[in-house]
Structure 1
Amino acid sequence: MPDASREPRRITVQRDGPTLVEGPVEVVLEDGTTVTSDRFCVALCTCRRSRTYPWCDTSHRRRTNE
């Protein structure tokens, strides 16, 4: 039986959008806090505008031209 922990995770990088990661995932934040998700796919915020950071809440869609 293959070891599932050795299987690579798929990460999809999107221009002007979140980074999609096949779950479950464990994310370590800058302050050392660890957050987890058991979802089959999670969207990680890359614009840092999300109210639910590190999870994406689509705040990047409301971004104005700077």
Structure 2
Amino acid sequence: MPAAAEPRRVVLVPGGPMLVEGPVELVLPDGTAVCSERFIVAVCACRRSKRYPFCDTSHRRRVRVEPDEPASE
């Protein structure tokens, strides 16, 4: 009887990618599969990556605008 496989760790980075312990095979919506042999794989969560489904840090180019603070009297 084969030993139970350890679960893969997935880390959700706020405003960034999902970091997955590799190697991984990702199945895209169209059914194609892409593989990465890296020990940590950054999976794009914003869909701005030119290397989608892998992250290319495109999410960093988005400028965040903080809301104006209310004027104090």
- Name the Cα RMSD after superposition: 1.7
Cα deviation digits, residues 1-48 of structure 1 (max 9, x gap): x84x71110100011000000000000000001000000000000000
**Percentage identity across aligned positions?**
62
Unmatched runs of 5 consecutive residues or more in structure 1? none
Query: Between Structure 1 and Structure 2, whose CA radius of gyration is higher?
Result: 2
1:65: how far off?
4.6
Q: Which moved more, 1:5-14 or 1:39-48?
A: 5-14
Secondary structure, aligned partner of 1:60: helix
Unmatched runs of 5 consecutive residues or more in structure 2? 66-73
Asked whether 1:60 is paired with 2:59, we answer yes
| 1:64 aligned partner, one-letter code | V
CA distance in 2, matches of 1:12, 1:21: 7
TM-score relative to the length of structure 1: 0.88
Bigger share in helix: 1
CA distance in 2, matches of 1:24, 1:61: 25
- Taking the TM superposition and a 5 Å limit, the aligned residue runs for 1:27-66 are 27-65=26-64
CA distance in 1, matches of 2:9, 2:15: 19
| 1:11 aligned partner, one-letter code | V
CA distance in 2, matches of 1:63, 1:13: 18
